[in-house]
Amino acid sequence: MNLLKCLKDFPQLTIGDLTARLPIIQGGMGVGISLSGLASAVANEGGVGVISAAMIGNAEPDIAKDPTGAHIRALTREIRKAREMTKGILGVNVMVALSNFADMVSTSVREGVDVLFCGAGLPLDLPKYVTEGAKTKLVPIVSSGRAAVILCKKWLSRFNVLPDAFVVEGPKAGGHLGFKPEQVDDPAFALERIVPEVIEAVRPFEEQSGKRIPTIAAGGVYTGEDICRFLEMGAAGVQMGTRFVATVECDADEAFKQAYVRAKKEDIVIIQSPVGMPGRAVKGPFLDDVAQGNRKPRACAYKCIVTCDHTKSPYCIAQALVNAMKGKLKHGFAFAGANAWRVDSIVTVRELVNQLRDDFMRFCGKKD
């Protein structure tokens, strides 16, 4: 018998000694898309709210003179603001490719965040930043079973610890993708294929250690039906980004959100990012200019991503994303998941969660 059909509500998501009422993690979205406002709202509804550390200090007045201090100060402030607004579970997303990865991770641990999510590269040394007595859970973001095995083996050999969970991100995600361009539409790399692959890859480590390492599905999860499908597949929960952009509480400018509402299916495109990875975004005038060769950065003011060679880049992605977050879409663009074109309105986080719950219950046949 399918155990999901016995439930009267969403099942809980447990990561170590943390238990979220909803099996939903709000994806960390930069630059400035998911900060304390969105993260606290999601946490208050019982999910895991996540602040993105990417370029978080861009609005600080001394960002040019003291970028290190500006980013640390801004992340500290956002974590504390979120804590003031919720007693729920809060996480921080820190991309491995960030040049200030170590500072952002150390700040998150020092501030006592509940969960650290790290992708855009393998966080091979992440456990070394966890100080004695810290309770922060460590959750790498991977795109294959092979990557999960590498991390488990490295962490065991170097630190004698295992990840507390894995987020498995498929090629329908928004922003930078952990796949080659030719893999994005290849069914062999679909989320439905890689979630079971990671679950199986991690199982031997669970059996040897006696530790539960839940797998969380991410990338293209849009409806309650999707949530039910991945839970039935063995995932412990899901991560969703695109749906939470289209909420009142999202920290982005209204114009950024409306780009999702206006988008048609053909407007969601794959781009080649200056950081050397494919990405998914909403097509607009800025990207049209890039395609026509009309963009060229004069200098690099941020030095934010270690894989970015600004001397060869057609534009500064940090500045483009900062502009987009502020609603200046003629000078930037919105990253978005493959299903962003399905967004037709802006709702509150509570309304969204209720929609997802109703859809989940209806699809899984749980309503009385």
Domains present along the chain, CATH in parentheses: 3-253+343-363 (3.20.20.70), 255-325 (no CATH)
| Whole-prediction pTM | 0.91
Query: How does DSSP classify residue 298?
Result: S
Query: pLDDT tens digit string along 152-179?
Result: 999 999 999 999 999 999 999 998 888 8
pLDDT value at residue 318: 72
Could you give the CA distance from residue 344 to residue 101 in angstroms, rounded to a whole number? 36
Query: pLDDT tens digit string along 58-102?
Result: 888 887 888 899 999 999 999 999 999 999 999 999 999 888 899
Q: Which residues of the chain, if any, have pLDDT below 70? A: 1-8, 295-315, 365-368
pLDDT value at residue 274: 74
Give phi and psi for 250, each to the nearest 5.
-55, 140
3-state helix, strand, coil in the chain (%, to 5): 40, 15, 45
